[in-house]
Structure 1
Amino acid sequence: MTSVDPSVPAERAPEAELKHGAISFLDALVIGLASTSPAYSLAAIIGPVVALVGVYAPGVLLASFVPMLMIASAFYYLNKADQDCGTTFSWVTRAMGPWVGWIGGWAIAMTGVLVTGSLADTAVRFGLLAFGLDDAASNNAIVIPLVVVVVLAMTALCVIGTEVSARFQNMLILAQVASLLVFAGVALGRALTGDSPLEPLTPSITWLNPFAEGGAALTAGLLLGVFAYWGWESAVNLTEETTDSESTPGRAAIVSTVVLLVTYIAVAYAVVAFAGTAFLAENEGEAELIFALLGEQVLGGWDWVLLVSVATAALASTQTTIIPASRTGLSMARRAALPRRLAHIHPRFRTPDVSTWLVAAIAISWYVLINLISENALLDSLTALSLLIAFYYSLTGIACAVYYRRQLRRSVKNLLLIGIGPLAGSALLIFLLIRSAIDLNDPEASSTGVAWFGLGPPLVIGVAIFLVGVAFMIFWRIRHREFWRERPGVAPDPVTGDPAPGDPATGGPQSVGVER
C-alpha cells in the first residue's frame, strides 16, 4: 500500500473550462438570428419607422444594415486575432487599454440587464394572446410572475449547456421564420390582388431609397433600424464553445446580418403594401402590438400564427440575450476586471453558472422594479438601449482599426475591411449616438412624458447606467489593480498570423502585456 506524505500538497485539480466545439456554424448562425428576435424587432419598429418615412421604410432598413455589416466585419477580424468570449471587452482592452475595455464590457452587460425582462414580458403577453387569453395578457398581476418564471427557465437552459440551448433555439427560429414568411406571403398576395381591407399600395423599387425623406426623419429611422439589427453578435460570444473558433463565429455573425436584411425588407414590403402608411402611422404607439392588430386583418382566424411568431421570437431572444452579458462577465472576471467568483465554470455543464445566474437576478430585479414604477418607465429604459448599443458597436469598430493598425497597408482588402469599413461604421454610429442623445433629451418624446431632473427619462437612464459603470470601475481599480496593469498591443497578420511589422514580440491573444 502506498503511503501519502501529508507534507506534500496534493496536485491541484485543473479548473473547468467552457465546452469547446459544443456548437456548429449553423447553431451559431441560429443563435445570432434568435438574439435579434426578428419578429419582435420588426413589430416594435415598423410602425414608428413608417410614421417617420412612409413607404420608404424598407429603404431605411436597408440603410441601417450598412453600419451593421461594417461592424460585423470588425467582429470577424477581431475574433480571428482573439477568440475570447468577452468580445468587445477583450478586444478593446487589447487595442486601447483596460479603462476603455472595461466600460465597453459594462455597456454590453447592461444591455442584457435592460432588455431581458422586457423580452420575456413580450413572450408571455403574446403567448397568452395566441391562446385567446386577452384579459390575462393585460393583467400585470398575472404577467409579472410569469415573466419571472420565464427568465428563470431560460437562464436554467443557458446553464444546463450550450448544446441544449442551441437545439432549443433551432426549434424556436424555425417556428419564428416560418410564421413570418407565411404572414409576409399572405399579406403581399392580398395586397397585389386588392384583397386588403385597409389601404393597400402597389410595391415599388423606389421604396428602397432611404434618402427620399431625408433630414431628421431619416436619422430617427436609422436609430430604430440599428435597434432592429442589434443582437447578431451573440454568436461571437460563444466563440470558445464553437467548432473552428477562429473563423466560424465571425462568419456566423456576418451571415446572420445578411439573413436579417432579407427578412426585414421582405416583411416591411409586405406590411406597407397590405396596410398602407396611414394605418401603420396611426398605430405606431402600439409598438410590438402592431402585429397583433395586423395578424387578424391578414390571416383572419389564423392570426395566432403571427402571435406565436412574436412570442417565440421574444422567448428565444430572452435566452440568447443572457449569453453576451454572462460571457462578458466571465471574461472580465478571468482577467480580474470583476470579482473572480464570476469566472466560475460549472464542472458538469461547463458553462459560466455564477455570472449567468447573476445576470438573470439583476435583470429580474430591474424588470420588477421599473414595472412597479410604471409601464412607461419600462419602455423608456428600452429606449435608452440605443445609446448603449451605438456606444459599444462603435467602440468595437474603432478597436479593430487600432488593433490591426500595422496590418492595414499590407493589402487593399485589409485597408477596406479592417480599417476603413469598421471606422466608417463607427463614425455613423457615433453620429447616431449623438443624435439619439439630443432626441432623447425631449421629455415629451418619451413614453413617460415627464422630465426627470429636467431631462428626458431615456437619456437619464442611459447616462445613469454609464456613470454607475464608471463609479464601479474606479472602485474596482482602487481595490484590485491587476487588470489595470495590462497594456495594449498590436494584432498579427489576419491571414498568416505573422507578427506586426516592427513589433515582432507582439501579436494574437498574447499582445496584452502585464506591467512588472
Structure 2
Amino acid sequence: MSHDAVQDGEGGRQGGSAVGLKPNAIGFVDALVIGLNATSPAYSLAAVIGPIVALVGIYAPGVMFASFVPMLLIASAFYYLNKVDQDCGTTFSWVTRAMGPWAGWLGGWAITMTGVLVVGSLADVAVSFTLLAVGLDSWVANDFVRQLLTVLLIIVMTGLCVIGTELSARVQNALILAQVAFLLVFVVVALYRVYAGTTGFDSIEPSLSWLDPFGAGGAALTGGLLLGVFIYWGWESAVNLTEETENSASAPGKAGLWSTVVLLVTYLSVAVAVVAFAGTAFLAENAEEEEFIFAQLAGDVLGGWDWILLLAVATSAIASTQTTIIPASRTALSMARRQALPQHFGHISPRFRTPDVSTWWVAAIAIVWYLVVNQISTTALFDSLTALSLLIAFYYALTGVACAVYYRRHLTESVRNFVLIGLGPVVGAGLLAWLLVRSVMDMSDPANSYSGTSWFGLGPPLVIGIVISLVGVILMVVWRLRDAVFWQERPGVADPELVHATTAKPADRKER
C-alpha cells in the first residue's frame, strides 16, 4: 500500500474506531469462494436464461460468453488498482485517488445502494426455493410468512457477517460446495437425457455453433448483453475483503479475476444443458417466470430428486444474501475513515474486528426497502432490481477509467501495461457505458418494465435509478457543506515504486 494510503487508512481508523479490520483472516481460496457466491450463480442464471433465449435462441451460451468480456476487463482494473491501494472501499478509494473526491463519493454511493436494492430480493428467493424444496409451497404464496422469513434470514446472515470474516468464509465454502454439486448433478442428468432421447421436450443436441454471440444478429446480441453482463456482477466482493486477506496486494485481485473465469464455465455448462434439454420454444414461452423456470424444470430433469435443483438456487441466494452485504458495508467503512461519511459508520467491533455499525445499517435499510417496495406492488421489487443495472454499469465503468487515469504515467512503459492496465479497462468501461445508455433508453419506456406502468412518464426502474442518484448527490453536497475534510483530497497518480514492484516480471524482482 502506498504511504498516502496507509496514512489515510490509519487516520480514518483512529477517528472511527480504536481497532482495524482483522488482517490475514482469510486466504485466496476463501476470497475466490466469496467472489463466486456474491454473484449467486444458480439464481442469476435461472433469472436470465429464459429472457436471453427469447432474444437469441440457441445462441444464449454465446451471449453469456460475450457478456464475460467486459467483466474480465473490469476485473483486470480491480486487480491492478488493488496492487497499489489495498483499501476495502475499492472503487470509492481508487476513483477518489485518480479522479477526485466528487467522482469517488458517487462511486461509493453506487456500491452501497446496490446492496440495499438486492439483498431483500436474494433473501426472498432463498426462502421461496427452500420452502419449495421441502414441499411447503403454500407458505411461498403467503406473503406475510414469506416476508417474515426473508427478514429473519437477512438478520441471521448479517449477524454472520458481523461475527467474523473467518466464520463467513467457512459458511460460504460449505454453500459453494453444495451449490456446485447440485448444479453438476443437474447438468450431467440433463445432458444424459438429451442424448438418450428421454427429455419429453423438443430437446436439441448441443453444438459448438451455440457459442457464436453474433449468430442471432447484432440487435439480438445487444438485448442479450443488457441481460447477460449483469449476471457476472458481484465478484468484486473478493476485493472488498482485501484488508482481511493474506497477501492482500495480489490474492484478492486474483480471486476477482478467477471468479469471472469460473463463473463463465459454470454459466456456459448450465446454459447449454438447459437449452439442450428444454429447447428454445419452452424457455421463450416461460421467459417471464425468470428464476422459477428452474423450479419448473427441476421435476422434468430430476424427477423425485427435483429438490436438488431447488436447493441449488436456494443455497445460491442464501450465500449471496450474505456476501452482497460485504461490498456495501466495507465501502461505507472506507468512506467513514476518509470522513466522506459520518465517522459512526467507521466503527469496527473490538471483539470481531468487522465493521459492525455499517453492516447493520446496510441490512436495516435493505429490510426497510424490501418491505416498503413489496407494499407498493408485487412487481415493484422486480423493477427496483432492474434499476440495479444502472448503478452497476456506472461504478464498474468508473473503475475502468480510474485504472487508466491512475496509471497514466506508466501505460507506455510496456505493451503489457498498455493493454492490461490501460486499453483493456478503458474498453471495458466503454462497453459498460454503452450498455448504461442503452439501459436508460430501454427503461424510459414504461412498457419495458415489469409492471408496465408509468411513473412520471418513464418506466419505474429508470425513476428508481434517477431518485437514488439524486439522493446521493444531495447527501454528498450536504456532507460537503458540513464537513469539507474529504473534499480537500486531490487526484494523483500511482506511486512509481509500487507500480514497478507490482508490474515487474519475476526475474526482474529477483534482480532487485
Q: Same fold (TM over 0.5)?
A: yes
Q: Give, in angstroms, the shift of residue 90 of structure 1.
A: 0.2
Are 2:67 and 1:93 equivalent residues in the alignment? no
Cα separation, partners in 2 of 1:14 and 1:277, compared to 1, 3 Å: closer
Secondary structure of the equivalent of 2:453?
coil
Contact 1:93–1:102, Cα closer than 8 Å, also in 2: yes
Distance 1:494 1:104, change over 3 A: farther
The answer (yes or no) to whether the contact 1:81–1:494 under 8 Å persists in 2 is no
Q: 1:251 aligns with which of 250, 254, 265?
A: 254
Q: How many equivalent residue pairs? A: 490
Q: Secondary structure at the match of 1:384?
A: helix
Structure number having the greater helix percentage: 2
Match of 1:294 among 292, 297, 301: 297
Which residue does the alignment assign to 2:39? 36
1:195 is aligned to 2:198: yes
Report the identity percentage: 68
Query: Is the Cα–Cα contact under 8 Å of residues 74 and 422 in structure 1 kept in the other structure?
Result: yes
Match of 1:273 among 268, 273, 276: 276
Change (3 A) 1:37 1:499: closer
1:486 to 486, 489, 507: 489
2:53 pairs with 1:50: yes
Output aligned runs, 1:363-442, within 5 Å: 363-442=366-445
- What is the deviation of 1:492? 2.7
Residue 139 of structure 1 deviates from its aligned partner by 1.1
Contact 1:91 1:101 in 2 (8 A): yes
Conserved in 2, the CA contact under 8 Å of 1:94 and 1:487?
Answer: yes
**Which residue of the partner structure matches residue 175 of structure 1?**
178
For the residues of structure 2 that align with 1:194 and 1:176, how far apart are their CA atoms?
Answer: 27
- C-alpha contact (below 8 Å) 2:16/2:345 kept by paired residues: no
Whole-Å Cα distance in 1 between the matches of residues 185 and 16 of structure 2? 54
Whether 1:166 aligns to 2:155 is no
Over aligned residue pairs, what C-alpha RMSD do you find?
A: 1.6
TM superposition shift of 1:14: 8.1
Contact 2:16 2:343 in 1 (8 A): no
Match of 2:213 among 207, 210, 215: 210
Within the alignment, does 1:78 sit opposite 2:53 as a pair? no
Structure with larger Rg: 1
2:352 aligned residue: 349
Give the distance between the partners of 2:53 and 2:205, measured in 1 at CA: 16
Structure 2 match to 1:506: none
Aligned counterpart, 2:477: 474
Q: Which residue of 1 aligns with 2:109?
A: 106
Q: Are residue 122 (structure 1) and residue 122 (structure 2) matched?
A: no
Q: Offset of 1:375 from its aligned partner?
A: 1.8
Cα distance per residue 1:400-419 (max 9 Å; x no partner): 00000001011100000000
Tell whether the 8 Å contact from 1:36 to 1:231 is kept in structure 2 after alignment: yes
Q: For the structure 1 residues 459 and 13, does the alpha-carbon distance in structure 2 shift closer, same or farther, using more than 3 Å as the test? A: closer
SS at match of 2:188: helix
Structure 2 gaps, min length 5:
1-14, 504-512
Q: 2:227 corresponds to which letter in structure 1? A: L
CA apart distance, 1:477: 0.5
Contact 1:492 1:499 survives alignment (8 Å): no
**Structure 1 letter corresponding to 2:398:** L
Separation of aligned partners in 1, 2:501 and 2:79: 18
Q: 2:453 corresponds to which residue?
A: 450
Give the secondary-structure state (helix, strand or coil) at the position aligned to 2:193.
helix
Task: Please state how far the C-alpha of 1:215 moved relative to its aligned partner.
Answer: 3.1
The residue that corresponds to 2:6 in the other structure is: none
Answering whether residue 152 of structure 2 is matched by residue 149 of structure 1, we say: yes
Matches of 1:494 and 1:297 in 2, distance apart?
Answer: 59
Given that 1:45 and 1:287 are in contact with CA atoms closer than 8 Å, whether structure 2 keeps it comes out as yes
Paired with 1:149 and 1:14, the residues of 2 have a C-alpha distance of 29
Match of 2:234 among 221, 231, 235: 231
Which residue type is aligned with residue 470 of structure 1? V
Query: In the alignment, which residue of structure 1 is the partner of 2:319?
Result: 316
